[in-house]
Amino acid sequence: MKREEHLLGEIYAYRYQGKNPKYALVVSHGIASHGGIYDKFCVHHAEKGADIWSFDAPGHGKSTTNRPRGQWTMEEWADASVAYAEHVKIETGLPVFVLGSSLGIAAAFSALHSDAITGAILMGSPAVPSTPLLAAMGEPWRNEAVGQVLGMVGRAARMDCSILFNFDEDYGYAGAGEQKRTDPWNTWTYDLASWRTLYTYEPPIPADKNEKPILFACGGKDASFPRELLKGVADSISGPVEFYCMEEGTHQLMLFHT
């Protein structure tokens, strides 16, 4: 399987293409990661008829030519998903689906307003902008005083992703965090102002107005986000939404349960 690197504007992506693809996937990775970590998933599904484009979100991986790593907004991330979906649609003519893993589901869901996108696959996270849960979680972040403080201190206010998430638990095995550190393209700290945009961003089509098909998947043994929590998030999205739980699955379905 040949893995190609592509550049669209400032956004890098990895393309996996088998013979006679029937549909395309535009993949948004999770927290602290980049688009090149899903080889196992992408090769498997490319060989079964998918044309897969897995991109580095703005401020992640190689998509840092005009900014420091860890600096991004959710609007930029969603826009990058749309840009790649529209590019892939023109390039291939195939039905295009956006796929988000963990934090990446925020960008994938927020891209559904594009006419180039047929539907979405959302995996393992409650981070769907405009749902009641994320709105409640984001109330403190939307306070103007928080924005003013972050504006004053700028990039000095940082979030350590490895402290926020225990990657040994998140990935489902001891030593995962240490192993993840060996990948030079991962992003270990975010500007706190960037993280705030997860809670302040409003998608063009809110969750209660969605009309496109969504597959919402989770792992029954996800130590980070229980099935009941994610089922509630899926139920709060309108339109044709199917919820699927892989009983033996952990948080990282693409990495360990392909």
| Residues 145-192 pLDDT 10s | 999 999 999 999 999 999 998 888 877 778 888 888 999 999 999 999
**Element holding 123 (H helix, E strand):** strand 117-123
CATH 3.40.50.1820 fits 3-256, yes or no: yes
Please give the mean pLDDT across all residues of the chain: 95
What per-residue confidence (pLDDT) applies to 173? 77
| Residues 226-235 pLDDT 10s | 999 999 999 9
What per-residue confidence (pLDDT) applies to 2? 83
Residue 145 to residue 136: CA distance in whole angstroms: 17
Q: Cα 30 to chain center, whole Å?
A: 5
Residue with tokens 């998933």: 41
| Residues 127-148 pLDDT 10s | 999 999 999 999 999 999 999 9
Residue 98 to residue 79: CA distance in whole angstroms: 12
Q: At what angle do helices 144-153 and 192-200 cross, to 10 degrees?
A: 160
Nearest to 77 by CA among 53, 51, 109: 109
Residue 222 to residue 39: CA distance in whole angstroms: 21
Enter the pTM of the model. 0.95
Q: Does residue 77 carry a pLDDT above 80?
A: yes
Residue 34 to residue 193: CA distance in whole angstroms: 20
What per-residue confidence (pLDDT) applies to 1? 78
3-state helix, strand, coil in the chain (%, to 5): 40, 20, 40
| Residues 209-222 pLDDT 10s | 999 999 999 999 98
Domain ranges of the chain: 3-256
| Residues 93-103 pLDDT 10s | 999 999 999 99
The number of beta carbons lying within 10 Å of the beta carbon of residue 134 is 19
